[in-house]
Structure 1
Amino acid sequence: MTTEYSGTGDPARSLALLWRTRDKPSRKGGDLSVGRIVHTAIELADAEGLTALSMRRVAERLGAGTMSLYTHVPGKGELLDLMLDTVYGETARPDDVPGGWRGRLELVARENHALYLRHPWLLQVATTRPPLGPNLIAKYEYELRAVDGIGLTDLEMDAVVTLVDNYVHGAVRAAVEMAQAAQQTGLTDQQWWHAHAPYLERALDARRFPLAARVGTAAGEEYQAAADPQRAFEFGLARLLDGVQTLIGQRHAG
């Protein structure tokens, strides 16, 4: 569930911080800096989720006064944009990727998938007004290169990259929620399934729900759980790339 929105900070201050060339030392001689504040905020969000994020909590982790943070970062809106742009810089961007455009686009999807798993709080941020920082722009540039020179228009290139990013955003949610459920309940999804499946088998009327009974039984036996998010991600990614292949073929045929 979305709990925060990016791009809510003061535009001038946010962009100045995002595109800063280096951190300025604290005027009071402390060791606080924008970078240290941002990395501490990311660690907090990774550990406790975005709902735990506040300037006060970040200050506590730093052993500093809350007001001292505002010398470097004006507020939570600007801090969130800085956090987003910082983690966007984690994605790998190798120059040589085998498999042509498909291999490159697959790498983009997998890197974004891994990013969400490392930082599940990203799923709580609506980024329709993105933090326009250097790491976001570099990430976008690299993703566009995956589909450059294959016959698509500029708008189609943007649409394909957006399609992949949106697919990953939706597909990874199940994996994140599965991990969070296991952490909260102390039961893995396999343990939960094994506890519930026998009762479902007795209660389910296969004459009333023939497809659900047949397909659900096959899936449950294969997954040993109610779902397999990784398998679903792999299946969907392959079908998405097949669709892009069809689009490219249409452009070349035309």
Structure 2
Amino acid sequence: MSSDGRSGGGAVDPEQLWLRPTEPRRGRRPTFSREAITAAAVALADAEGLDVVTMRRVAAEVGAGVMSLYSYAPDKETLLELMVDHVSGELTVTDPPSGDWRTDLKTVAHLQRTHMLRHPWLPAALTTRRVPGPNTLAFLEHVLAVLRPTGLDGAAKLEVFAQLTAFVAGHVAHEIAQAAVSRSPDRSAAEARYLAAVAADGHHPQLAEALAAPGRPVTPDATFTRFLGRLIDGLDTG
């Protein structure tokens, strides 16, 4: 492993990142910390998106030289790990599981959705992140306790958590994209006209039948709840 906390293969070393606190450097005490650097990066991503989060930009936000940041986060990949775990501290659950694991798991998913909507960069970040930090582990511990009544083995419980998180992240990413489209009435109207024309052309009878069916509530909350119910109610724990 290299001195910057990365393994030989280039991936973030979880032991170096989470189990070995950053040692204070000799000389003048720095006016910033790993926590401050991470918080600044999160604020940037929340306001302007993940693409603007660079070591140089974060250094400017905390009033530091870019080279001085590397002892805290040697690269953007490590910084991303810190950012995700930092915001995961917001996923606090004070009530113990009720024993009704399906209801409790739905509560977990709604909490995740609210969390990801608050930090719209998270769905994309979670697709590449691999190293759970202390805040993420605390939330995972709660989810595993929720799943205890299922009788699933440990590996299956971890798979359920991964499946649920992937579903929420994918749904939120789609939800954010659809919200952007809905702000363009002309585009929304054009899409509706297009689907109506396709349904009427006689070549897509299944689609025509589906579009003619009674509508369901299409608010973001109602849509998420409906999709989530199909996922969790259909989980096989046998």
- For residue 233 of structure 2, the aligned residue among 221, 239, 242 is 242
Distance 1:36 1:222, change over 3 A: same
Structure with bigger RCO (C-alpha 8 Å, 6+ apart):
1
- Tell me the distance in 1 between the aligned counterparts of 2:15 and 2:81: 9
Q: Give the 3-state SS of the residue equivalent to 2:44 in structure 1.
A: helix
Q: Which amino acid aligns with 2:205?
A: P
Distance 1:10 1:239, change over 3 A: closer
Aligned to 2:206: 211
1:103 positional shift: 1.9
Give CA deviations for 1:173-214 in whole Å, capped at 9, x if unaligned: 2112223x25xxxx5266642355346545753422233234
Q: Give the 3-state SS of the residue equivalent to 1:161 in structure 2.
A: helix
Matches within 5 A, 1:145-160: 145-160=145-160
- CA RMSD of superposed structures (Å): 3.2
Give CA deviations for 1:68-94 in whole Å, capped at 9, x if unaligned: 222432222221111111122211312
Q: Which amino acid aligns with 2:224?
A: F
Mapped contact 2:99–2:146 kept (Cα < 8 A):
no
TM-score, normalised with respect to structure 2: 0.79
Aligned to 1:123: 123
> Is there any run of 5+ residues in structure 2 with no aligned partner, and where?
1-8
- For residue 183 of structure 2, the aligned residue among 185, 188, 191 is 188
Aligned to 1:163: 163
Distance 1:170 1:26, change over 3 A: farther
Q: Does 1:90 align with 2:90?
A: yes
TM-score, normalised with respect to structure 1: 0.75
Mapped contact 1:40–1:58 kept (Cα < 8 A):
yes
> Is there any run of 5+ residues in structure 1 with no aligned partner, and where?
1-6
